[in-house]
Amino acid sequence: MWKSILRKYRFSIALLLIFLVLVAFVDKNNAVDNWRLNRKIDELEVQRDFYLKKIEEDSLMLEKLKDPAFLEKYARENFYMRRAGEGVYVVR
């Protein structure tokens, strides 16, 4: 039974297989390149989310730095700045 079906439709089956190979590997918009591009899109979306979060954190820090008291505290803690006549002691 299968042999008779294969003989009858062998030309159609061969054309179908050739078409599938062309679509999957040879065509300009082939399946392999689409898969790679989708992976790259996923990676770029992860990076976008990271940078959006970083922008939000930096914007919050910028707002805080507009307050003179916070600015002074931040400068003293992170850059070891001091007023005239004060000493800075680093304890680790």
Q: Model pTM?
A: 0.62
E strands, 3-92, are none
* Phi/psi-derived region of residue 30, left when phi > 0, alpha when psi is between -120 and 50, beta in every other case: beta
Placement of tokens 């070891």 in the chain: 80
Tens digit of each residue's pLDDT, the chain (92 residues): 778 878 888 889 899 999 888 877 777 788 888 999 999 999 999 999 999 999 999 999 999 999 999 999 999 888 888 888 888 777 77
Per-residue b or e along 16-25, where b marks 16 or more CB atoms closer than 10 Å to that residue's CB: eeeeeeeeee
